[in-house]
Amino acid sequence: MKFDTSGLESAAPVWGAPSELVDGFSAAPSFEVPNTTDFDGFQKEAIQMVKPAKGTTTLAFIFKEGVIVAADSRASMGGYISSQSVKKIIEINPYMLGTMAGGAADCQFWHRNLGIKCRLHELANKRRISVTGASKLLANILYSYRGMGLSVGTMIAGWDETGPGLYYVDSEGGRLKGMRFSVGSGSPYAYGVLDNGYRYDMSVEEAAELARRAIYHATFRDGASGGVASVYFVGPSGWKKLSGDDVGELHYQYYPVMPSTVEQEMVEAAGA
């Protein structure tokens, strides 16, 4: 009689031959490779197709009081601005935020999926998951889809028992722990302002203003970034949205229009 091991196998299909010893690992579901003559070229094309979508500016940094997370809200398709009001900061749970850069659908779906996993962890273990753990879960999933065309460049920011946490996770499978990150086509401009003005000992208002300024400057120079600059703060009691300012209005706040001397004389002359 055939030995029935169906009860012993996990629900998810496993890569390669299942072995008793590796039963402890859970594998991600996979799909079949497309039928082409030149798979590498096809892969490159697929990646190029989603590349423009990383038109965005997001940033996050850790400072004395906690973590600041900020992003713009523009979505572009080539030269066309498809939306000025995209939510690029995703609320995974009350004490963790994720930023969106790359494919909007990929980011939204996988962040929501991460939120589910975090909640399940809480229910099973009667304690919140750490930022380290949450970012690792996401990174493992993205790594298992490596080369299949996912486009995700996200930062996981949160507050856990060990204090503030910030990780950068991307669809290449990379995961970095750090104090300051900026992701997207506008990130070089944002880094310029952020790195220049950053101090560890800032107040929440100072840090928020630095983030706002950095996003503003990125939207000023990068055509693929714009819309509304949102700033969030993550502290011991969870995240809180601090502001959402239209970058056009921010521009005139920072650089108010001053009449030039010629214009001033003309006004005076007209009055006289």
Partner 1 sequence: MARYDRAITVFSPDGHLFQVEYALEAVRKGNAAVGVRGTDIVVLGVEKKSAAKLQDSRSVRKIVNLDDHIALACAGLKADARVLINRARIECQSHRLTVEDPVTVEYITRYIAGLQQKYTQSGGVRPFGLSTLIVGFDPYSGVPSLYQTDPSGTFSAWKANATGRNSNSIREFLEKNYKETSGQETIKLAIRALLEVVESGGKNIEVAVMTKEGLRQLDEAEIDAIAAEIEAEKEAVEAAKKAPPKEK
Question: Interface residues with partner 1 (CB under 8 A)?
Answer: 1-8, 21-25, 121, 124-127, 129-130, 132-133, 136-137, 140, 161
**What Cα–Cα distance (Å) separates residue 62 from each residue in 65, 211, 221, 234?**
8, 11, 25, 9
Residue 126 vs 268, nearer CB to partner 1: 126
Residue 134 vs 247, nearer CB to partner 1: 134
Token duo for residue 202: 């800032």
Residue 54 vs 136, nearer CB to partner 1: 136
SS3 for 8-24, per residue? Answer: HCCCCCCCCCCCHHHHH
Residue 137 vs 155, nearer CB to partner 1: 137
Q: Give the nearest distance from C-beta 187 to partner 1 in angstroms.
A: 26
Q: Give the nearest distance from C-beta 182 to partner 1 in angstroms.
A: 24
Residue 20 vs 201, nearer CB to partner 1: 20
Q: Which residues contact 97 (CB under 8 A, 6 or more apart)?
A: 69, 89, 90, 91, 156, 157, 158, 232, 234, 239
Q: Give the nearest distance from C-beta 166 to partner 1 in angstroms.
A: 15
Beta partners for residue 68, in sequence order: 61, 233
Alpha carbon distance, N-terminus to C-terminus of the chain: 110
Residue 213, H or E segment? helix 204-221
Question: How far apart (Å, rounded) are the C-alpha atoms in residues 134 and 158?
Answer: 10
Q: Give the nearest distance from C-beta 130 to partner 1 in angstroms.
A: 6
Q: Give the nearest distance from C-beta 30 to partner 1 in angstroms.
A: 18
User: Is 37 among the residues known to form the active site?
Assistant: no
Contact 134, 169 (CB under 8 A): no
Q: Give the nearest distance from C-beta 107 to partner 1 in angstroms.
A: 21
- Indicate which residue of 5, 36, 37, 56 is catalytic: 56
Question: How far apart (Å, rounded) are the C-alpha atoms in residues 155 and 178?
Answer: 10
Identify the three-state secondary structure at position 260.
coil
**What Cα–Cα distance (Å) separates residue 106 from each residue in 5, 74, 102, 169?**
36, 17, 8, 13
Residue 100 vs 142, nearer CB to partner 1: 142
Catalytic residue ranges:
56
